[in-house]
Amino acid sequence: MPHASAVRALVFDVFGTVVDWRGSIIRECRALGRRAKLAVDWAAFADAWRAGYRPAMARVRSGELPWMSIDQLHRMILDELLARFDIVGLTEAQVDHLNRVWHRLEPWPEARRGLALLKRRYLLATLSNGNMALLVNMAKRARLPWDCVLSAELFRRYKPDPETYLGAAAMLGLEPGEVMMVAAHKDDLRAAKACGLATAFVRRPRERGPRVKLDVAPEPDFDVNAKDFVDLAARMAK
């Protein structure tokens, strides 16, 4: 782990890495469905919402759409899904509240404990495509102990654009090699590594539900491969 010894700050991908977006959305939407008497396959709904995210971001990254926050992208996708899943009768306030389910995602079971351990030695920040308000509300509600909330929104670029990784390091007053990107997604880590950041892969095999088999094999290219955040803390304490 030659790279990792210089690390002073860890920056975390959030959706899927820190929080279980799929499980959280399914749970909250099922409760909504019972109250509003909606018969919807909420697992399919959650998957479709998330599936709309990358194409929507790609349209912003290509310049086809103007800069939009993730809250705005989520809402654009949600409006399509409400029609596609035949969800009718929700007021504007209810749709807006539903859109903010992304502010209320729950952390993976060991995440808070792992972060508390890592916080003793490292500066911890988010580096998510989620907008600042989303990340701040999520952290407050889920008691995620960030030293600093950073979002791609600050750079008006989305990951994996290099401006986000380099911008985060600069904003923390650190060299790229003093910052470690932590993510459950190998493409995010490869982009961070190309910018000179250290990298830690964390396995989240259930991110897409019990039926989808994800590639969670360790990669020698990354500085650390960890089972979860508590395991990462143990490896980073060496």
Binding stretches for a second copy (CB under 8 A): 71, 123, 125, 131-134, 136-137, 139-140, 147-149, 153-154, 171-174
Q: In angstroms, give the least distance from the CB of 140 to a second copy.
A: 5
In the complex, what is the shortest distance from the CB of residue 180 to a second copy, in angstroms, rounded to a whole number?
16
Q: Which of 179, 184, 173 is nearest to 195 (CA)?
A: 179
From the list 32, 39, 28, 50, the residue with the least C-alpha distance to 209 is 50
Q: What is the 3-state secondary structure (H, E, C) of the chain?
A: CCHHHHCCEEEECCECCCECHHHHHHHHHHHHHHHHCCCCCHHHHHHHHHHCHHHHHHHHHCCCCCCCCHHHHHHHHHHHHHHHCCCCCCCHHHHHHHHHHHHHCCECCCHHHHHHHHHCCCEEEECECCCHHHHHHHHHHHCCCCCECCEHHHHCCCCCCHHHHHHHHHHCCCCHHHEEEEECCHHHHHHHHHCCCEEEEECCCCCCCCCCCCCCCCCCCCCEEECCHHHHHHHHCC
Joined together, the tokens standing for residue 80 give 């399509």
Instruction: Name the residue nearer to a second copy (CB basis): 109 or 145.
Output: 145
Under a CB-based contact definition with an 8 Å cutoff, are residues 138 and 105 in contact? yes
Please say which residue, 43 or 133, places its beta carbon nearer to a second copy: 133
Nearest CB to a second copy, comparing residues 41 and 147: 147
Report the nearest approach of a second copy to the CB of residue 175 (Å).
12
Tell me 106's DSSP state. Answer: P
Shortest separation between residue 196's beta carbon and a second copy, angstroms: 18
Q: Closest CB to a second copy among 102 and 222?
A: 102
Q: Give whichever of 25 and 135 is closer to a second copy, judged by the CB atom.
A: 135
For a second copy, which is the closer residue by CB, 112 or 137? 137
Which residue, 32 or 134, has its beta carbon nearer to a second copy? 134
- Map residue 125 onto helix, strand or coil: strand
Minimum CB separation of residue 83 from a second copy in Å reads: 26
